[in-house]
Amino acid sequence: MNNVRVRFAPSPTGYLHIGGLRTALYNYLFAKKNNGKFILRIEDTDQTRFVEGAIENLINSLNWAGITYDEGVFIENGQIVEKGDFGPYIQSKRLDIYKKYVDELIEKGHAYYCFCTKERLDKVREEQKISGQIPRYDGFCRNIPLEEAKKRIENGEEYVVRLKLPHNRDIEFYDMVRGNITINTSDMDDQVLLKSDGYPTYHLAVVVDDHLMGITHIVRGEEWLPSTPKHVYLYEAYGWEKPTYVHLPTVLNKDRKKLSKRQGDVSVEDFRNKGYLPEALVNYLALVGWSPEDNEELMNLEEMIEKFSFERVSKTGGIFDIDKLNWINGHYIRNSSTERLRELAIPYLINENLIDEKFAHENTQWLDCLVETLKESISTISEIPQKSKFIFSEEIEIEEELFNEFLNNENAKIIMNAIIEEITNMDKFDLEEAKTFMKKIQLKTGIKGKNLFMPTRVALTGSEHGPELVNILYLLGKDKIIKRARKVIEKLS
């Protein structure tokens, strides 16, 4: 496929949605697969919904996810900059361009000035609803002569520009996911192209920009499918070659409804803050609506690029399954370096007041042991503080049932006394000492196997299951081991 050019063109109306990240990912995979170019454009024509910081969040989220692009809007030294030969890449900087193309449509008779007030439009829609019709513009200004319209504008009347669709005509286009689609103009509206504030609507801007930027494939969410015939007609009206369309299935929750903030996390930022790894989130998102031919589930970006095709994208919405994401994230955590996990875990531990910056700086070996000890049992990095509370706590609670099963006997008392005696006489208690410690207790007491290890584990952790005991001994250190062993002896006395 020659000269593939695709774009991700979000509106800066908030943090990047998880569905938006998947759209960006599919654009990226398709571009890379075909040695094409991937562009980031910002569609900010609806200034009323603009959110300060949204562009920065969007770019940072893409960078964090490892989804790189070739042209468009970047951040350099804290500033938003544009790079590429087809700019500006921010729509609010392109108003003169849109005005020129709107004027061309009007002169060709494919668009018209509309002077209807909001009150009139609301009244028409209300009447249409009452009579069971689909609410849409009734064409009231459609046949106003151009000269008359221009005079009214000169006299200061407020106006918008609307698309003049032909009556009762089939508009056809091909979608790489859904195949051939035909929609009749009788089911469509004379869409507003230019608003009264001089800003274009999405429908005009997207067509003009995609054409001028040489976009060959438009990959976007299926919510834009009903608007596509209008876009196809605009390409025709301008005499331009239309691109190939790809409308992606919606990302749904387990109730098969669109993911929304009301039901939990939906932004990339949310998942990042929860301690999901970028490669895990991207790997999982790729599978929400697409599957490779070999049905492989664990893939890095290079493997996804190699296997990706729109032929294997589903027509129906993909279910966002948090359990599956957690499984994939757990896999990537277990395959990450200890150093990386330590650096990721530190902010969460500090946030829970379990450690401070000084401790983090001075105790890297201890923290390495902590993440190594816990990584088999976590699905996200944010679970580390909760899973490690038994290590940081000054005291632990042992359930009565557990105490009676493992500690309410003479053997347990012998073990606790031996632990206190042995560790008190040690000058230091590092990881090497921890490795041989239980062997010394075994020799001292003559107790071995489960009869030695289970009472020790329960006494020191409050649980009969858990990570490697050697690591727990080292992480607890001399003082906590003595304190916890003494507590058991006191309870037995």
Catalytic residues: 261
Check: CB of residue 12 under 8 Å from CB of residue 61.
Answer: no
- Say if CB 488 and CB 412 are below 8 A apart: yes
Cα gap 117→142, rounded to integer Å: 14
CA distance 389 to 462: 11
Q: Which helix (H) or strand (E) holds 114?
A: strand 111-114
Of 14, 43, 65, which Cα lies nearest the Cα of 266?
Answer: 14
CA distance readout (Å), 340 to 272, 343, 364, 381: 15, 5, 12, 11
Q: Where are the beta strands (DSSP E) in 208-354?
A: 217-221, 244-248, 251-252, 318-319
Contact 38, 9 (CB under 8 A): no
Task: Return the amino acid letter for 94.
Answer: R
Say whether the peptide bond before residue 455 is cis (omega within 30 degrees of 0): no
Whether 469 and 452 have beta carbons less than 8 Å apart is answered as no
State the Cα–Cα distance between residues 377 and 138, nearest whole angstrom.
62
H-type helices in 134-201, by residue range? 146-154
Residue 415 CA to residue 400 CA, distance in Å, equals 19
Backbone angles phi, psi at 396, to 5 degrees: -125, 155
Give the C-alpha separation, 65 to 25, whole Å.
9
- The number of CA neighbours under 13 Å toward the Cβ of 447 is 20
Residue pair 349/384 in contact by the 8 Å Cβ criterion: yes
